[in-house]
Amino acid sequence: MRIAFIVHDYHKTGGHSRYVAELAERFVREHEVHVYANRIEGDLDPRIKFHRVPALRFNALASVLTFILPATFRALDSFDIVHAQGLCGLRQNVVTAHMCQAAWYVAQTKHMGALTFKQRIFQRLVQPLEKYIFQTKNSKAVIAVSRRVKGDLGFYYGRVDNVTVIHHGVDLKKFNLEMRIHWRVLIRQELGLGNDKFVAFYVGDLQKGALPAIEAISHVEGVRLVCVTSSDPQPYRVFAEKMGVGERVSFVPKTAFVERYYGAADVFILPSFYDTFGMVVSEAMASGLPVIVSAAAGASELIEHGVSGVIIDTAWDTVAIAEWLERLRADGGFRENMGREARKKAEHYTWDDTALETMRVYQSVVAASKK
């Protein structure tokens, strides 16, 4: 096949970009693979053909709106598959739904109050375009990264046909128990944490669920919270002080070596109010960590509650989160067993599996086009 991926950025540090990189490097072994992206970074496979797409990147709205048309016209070559990541183009025949803007804004309003002015502008301009690309007949197949996002596409956009759920994979060699043992002491020393401290780690955008995570540790003594993030931490520092746990909450800048920080953790926590998947959850599970997530996270679909992780009904049930933190802190045997079960579950979700299922979608699209 001749396959074209369309994505804003190409790298391996997470999100849509990591997803494309993992698929592209596998498919190029047997197919001709092109990538159309604005930013192309990291170690690049020389077998993949890269094409830089111009775009204005001074904010999220500009990034989305100025990328669509150049990407659409740059990828006019004759491809069997044009695979876009959400709202990245207008002529794809396969599109992966990494999120649903309509569902995100409903969740944002419900859990965090009214939208900001910038968010309302983004919603007015971008949401109709996203609805279009999921409804258009050009999008022959849709890949949803979780059952949750599949349901959202049906409810908000009316897209129910040819939608396949394919969960993200995880790098089992990069994220593993041996790595945690290797880095535990070194990273704890770097962060000024004693080896006897019970530490919960939060990784990702703070707006997804850092506030309930901070509130939860205010209900239980002896728990430290470390947030690894690219977000501005100042509002969350203020909230931690307000909750009386300022000295127990710390923030670490986003890193390309997040697996090392999982090594310093005793538990992973992500009580998000909306998250279509949450790759960091499966990475933590692969690292042998107990995970506490909300049912709103798509990655909760991988978890057997109370066995391979903990699923909280709502992000703001901070009392329940605190109770599970206390149980995991007090019972080392239970904590270790849950971590082992989390690893076992993660082993069923590799990038090879994701690529295999995605190729089946491609083959069905190509076969249908020949009828």
Alpha helices in the chain (DSSP H): 15-27, 60-74, 101-112, 117-135, 147-157, 177-191, 210-217, 234-242, 258-262, 279-286, 318-330, 332-346, 351-369
pLDDT class of 56 with cuts at 50, 70, 90: very high
Considering the segment(s) 2-169+350-369 as one domain, its CATH architecture is 3-Layer(aba) Sandwich (3.40)
Across the chain, mean pLDDT equals 94
pLDDT at site 14: 77
pLDDT at site 371: 77
**How many C-beta atoms surround the C-beta of residue 37 within 10 A?**
25
Output the CA–CA distances (angstroms, integers) from residue 83 to 86, 114, 275, 371, in the order listed.
9, 34, 22, 21
Examine the pLDDT at 155 and tell me if it is beyond 80: yes
Interval 189-231: pLDDT, tens: 999 998 889 999 999 999 889 999 999 999 999 899 999 999 9
Output the CA–CA distances (angstroms, integers) from residue 62 to 36, 55, 122, 127, 150, in the order listed.
18, 8, 10, 14, 27
CATH topology match: 2-169+350-369 vs 177-346? yes
> What's the mean pLDDT in 315-341?
96
Interval 244-273: pLDDT, tens: 999 999 999 988 889 999 999 999 999 999
Task: Confirm if 250 and 191 have CB atoms less than 8 A apart.
Answer: yes
Among residues 84, 87, 80, 82, which one has the least CA distance to residue 104?
A: 87
The yes/no answer on whether domain 177-346 falls in CATH 3.30.2320.30 is: no
pLDDT at site 264: 93
pLDDT class of 113 with cuts at 50, 70, 90: confident
pLDDT class of 174 with cuts at 50, 70, 90: very high
Residue of higher predicted confidence among 24 and 196: 24
Among residues 171, 176, 152, 148, which one has the least CA distance to residue 296?
A: 148
> What's the mean pLDDT in 273-289?
94
Q: Could you tell me the residue ranges of all domains in the chain?
A: 2-169+350-369, 177-346
Examine the pLDDT at 323 and tell me if it is beyond 80: yes
pTM listed for this prediction? 0.93
Determine the residue type at 78: S
Task: Confirm if 288 and 222 have CB atoms less than 8 A apart.
Answer: no
Interval 82-112: pLDDT, tens: 999 999 999 899 999 999 999 999 998 887 7
